[in-house]
Amino acid sequence: MTGEDAVPGRLRVAVAAPLSAELRAFVRTLEPRVDLVIDHSLLPPMRWPADFAGDPHWRRTPEQQRAYDAAIDSADALYGIPDIDPAALARAVRANPRLRWVHTMAAGGGGQVRAAGLTDEELRRVAFTTSAGVHGRPLAEFAAFGVLAGAKNLPRLHRQQRDRQWSGRWTMGQVSRQTVLVLGLGGIGAAVAASLHALGATVVGTSRRNVEVPGVSTVIHPDRITEVAPTVDAVVNTLPGTDATEHLLGKRFFDALRPGATLVNVGRGTVVDEGALVHALDSGRVGFAALDVFETEPLPADSPLWTHDRVLVSPHTAALDAAEDRRIAELFAANATRLLDGHELLNRVNTVEFY
């Protein structure tokens, strides 16, 4: 396969992540100039929709690995990072000088590209794109669920039900009278803002650019989040994991937060300093946290977040949706058309900050 010559006007794509026959036909219908190279026997079986890592116990034989690498090295573009492994990505970039483009399955694929340790020349030669945006609606629903759960005091309801305690009545929070800070106004953040606005919340968003986003009443620079923290009832993080966002939500922010505020994280776990969060939960500064992502995944068994009665742990599953595979394939096909026609790619990774 490594001897395949490039065909002018066509794009040879090695499928490095599971892609069903139906979706392969879908991609070819959307962009007939794409030639897909795939052998499903060389890919780990999926356990659920969008399970691009596949069965962790599955292994290739040495012969299969050679065939897999040969297919990767024959392509102009990759559908997925090989084995979702930064080291395998680095090998592919260095072994294949004709490689022009790699599409990552994750919305936060920039972190995987950074971990590959590619040189500046390699980062200029190969374009990297992410699947940002395809997860917007599912994550917006989880964010709205988290904000609602905090407003309605889900931990207290759960505790009283468990203890069969019929307490006196109390006034529940109303999202329609709350102010919610949404960190990041990209595809996911914009969808979160729209959902919360539809519930009647006042939405404050963060951006380093001067942007207008439907449903967002005020846009502030991320440097100002501690300044506005005392005025918000809930915080939703949608930011990627970068050097600039690491532990953005730390002790200083939590100390400034309005007591009893809700925290929802659907971005990257590294944005939240989990040690500081535990202290904020213990003190009541954070009244409830709905977390889909964590600093270390899987969440270590000894993490106090597992047993904290004000925390809802979701195992990085909020974005999964039966239609996700199809939406990623559609985005890939659109970018294949752009690449072939010489246009700017959608969701291109910033190779300085890697988001």
- 21-30 and 324-341 helices, crossing angle to 10°: 30
In angstroms, the CA 193 to CA 179 distance is 11
pLDDT at residue 37 in the model? 96
Marked catalytic residue, from 135, 268, 285, 310: 268
| Cα–Cα distance for residue pair 167/220, rounded to 1 Å | 41
Return the pLDDT at 11.
98
Which pLDDT score, from 0 to 100, does residue 133 have?
87
Residue-level pLDDT at 4: 64
Q: Which of 124, 297, 343, 353 is catalytic?
A: 297
The pTM for the full model equals 0.87
Examine the pLDDT at 28 and tell me if it is beyond 60: yes
Catalytic residue status for 316: yes
Range name among 9-18, 102-111, 157-166, 193-202 with the lowest pLDDT average: 102-111
d(CA 208, CA 184): 9
Predicted pLDDT at 195: 98
Mean pLDDT score of the chain: 95
The yes-or-no verdict on residue 346 having pLDDT over 60 is: yes
pLDDT on residue 1: 38
297 catalytically annotated: yes
Res. 89: pLDDT tops 80: yes
Tokens of 348: 């291109």
User: pLDDT tens digits for 171-193?
Assistant: 999 999 999 999 999 999 999 99
**Cβ(79)–Cβ(15) under 8 Å?**
yes
Residue 252, pLDDT score: 98
Q: How far is CA 122 from CA 40, 90, 92, 118, 307, in A?
A: 29, 9, 11, 6, 45
Residue 29 burial (C-beta neighbours within 10 Å; 0-12, 13-18, 19+):
exposed
Q: For residue 330, what are its two tokens?
A: 């559609």
Q: Provide the pLDDT for residue 5.
A: 66
Catalytic residue among 91, 159, 316, 326: 316
Question: How does pLDDT run across 248-275, given as a tens digit for each residue?
Answer: 999 999 999 999 999 999 999 999 999 9
Q: What is the pLDDT of residues 95-145, one digit of tens each?
A: 999 999 999 998 889 999 999 999 999 999 999 999 988 999 999 999 999
Identity of residue 249? L
User: What sign results for the dihedral spanned by CA atoms 206, 209, 210, 215?
Assistant: negative
In the prediction, which pLDDT does 205 show?
98
Catalytic-residue membership of 212: no
Q: Is the pLDDT of residue 3 over 60?
A: no
Average pLDDT score over residue span 223-239: 98
